Structure 1
Amino acid sequence: MSVDSLPRRRLRPIVVPLLGVAVLSYFGYHAIHGERGLIAWWQLRQDIRVAESERAAVAAERAILERRVALLKPGHPHPDMLDERAREMLNLIGPDEVLILTPDK
């Protein structure tokens, strides 16, 4: 038995478990922090929640606009809506009306 073979014999039982731990660590890290890992999944779920709330807000705004457009149909325009649109487009007010300015969004 030479002096050179003594460290090799002691390292042999340690190498396989060390390689196993290294491989498990690699895959474990990427399962959490990877492109399709847990953190990315949680962020994607949050993005979906935000997008759904934005979609609901846009759907509500669309419903309001559709209702206003329905009041201006060519066959039977609603008199109040017609008056509102004419005043807005022509920038007119009556002599006995009070104008209240609101800041734009």
Structure 2
Amino acid sequence: MWTRQHRPRRTGRLIVPALSVAVLSYFGYHVYHGEFGINSKDQLRARATVLQAALDDVRGQRIALERKVRMLHDGTIDKDMLDEQARRALNLSHADEVTIMVSPVDRIN
């Protein structure tokens, strides 16, 4: 014959739900704040727009430089471009010209 020596505990029923809540809250936190979470996704999109703007700016500068280089190639030298480059390199101007000094930061290519 079997006898009961202890009282039934009610805390045993709370172990599985408590562990489930802990695991779900852990994964829920990392879904939002994790390395590949929702918050990181928004930050990556914002950084992508900033980098795309920088890329467009650099592409514009490259196109302008390619246009200047194309003008300086043999057989297609533009006389005005050659004159401008020579004056800038030698730091010369004619007596009847007006020279406007612009800092390299403010110069528009």
Query: Normalization by structure 1: what TM-score?
Result: 0.89
Q: Which AA in structure 2 matches 1:12? A: G
CA distance in structure 1 between the partners assigned to 2:45 and 2:71 by the alignment: 39
Aligned length: 102
Question: Unaligned 5+ residue runs, structure 2?
Answer: none
Does residue 62 of structure 1 match 2:72?
no
1:11-30 equivalence runs, <5 A? 11-30=11-30
Question: Unaligned 5+ residue runs, structure 1?
Answer: none
Q: Which AA in structure 2 matches 1:81? A: M
SS of 1:47's equivalent? helix
Query: Normalization by structure 2: what TM-score?
Result: 0.86
SS of 2:10's equivalent? helix
1:18-53: CA deviation from partner (whole Å, max 9, x where unpaired): 111000000000111111111111111111111111
Give the match for residue 10 of structure 2. Answer: 10
CA distance in structure 1 between the partners assigned to 2:76 and 2:32 by the alignment: 61
Q: Which AA in structure 1 matches 2:90? A: L
CA distance in structure 1 between the partners assigned to 2:75 and 2:63 by the alignment: 21
Range that drifts further, 9-18 or 85-94: 9-18
The Cα of 1:61 is off from its aligned counterpart by: 0.7
CA distance in structure 1 between the partners assigned to 2:66 and 2:7 by the alignment: 86
Give the number of the structure with larger relative contact order, counting CA–CA contacts within 8 Å between residues 6 or more apart. Answer: 2
SS of 1:10's equivalent? coil
Give 1 or 2: higher helix fraction: 1
